[in-house]
Structure 1
């Protein structure tokens, strides 16, 4: 980890891991162990947030970092976890879709 980048707080790590069931968030993978990845790179936002972190196995984390998997796909995987966990209502999910399109 870079010296100027603080560690992800333990409580936030736990929340991200629980969200994904302590497995890779890619539905066809679901491997363990997992690493936490920033959906929008740390270098651009300089903060650790729930909405921008996702649990990935080392293979998919590497593929995401190499741009083999694009950011829009990763946002969809994150959204899938939100739906599976019942975190948002249908209206909230629609707003998030619009927001994702604007950012995409």
Structure 2
């Protein structure tokens, strides 16, 4: 899971597209494996891998309640429910560079 987080950070810093890296594995871990501290720590980073109803189920399973989720993860970034994008296809990024000599 920490490896997937590192790839997400790399994606944010480069123009490479690693969207939904290890998609099926991450879904399998959160939906079927026993909850762990690592899952609780990184849960919010993988919110976009799930539909809203699935993620609500994961919150209940991993944290016990939404209150615990927000209480334990207030310092972690979250994807707003209104801005979710469920398209699993490749993303297009516009990049510009300023050359300074």
User: Normalised by the size of structure 2, how large is the TM-score?
Assistant: 0.29
Larger-Rg structure: 2
Where is the strand percentage greater, Structure 1 or Structure 2? 1
User: Normalised by the size of structure 1, how large is the TM-score?
Assistant: 0.29
Higher relative contact order (CA 8 A, sep 6+): 2
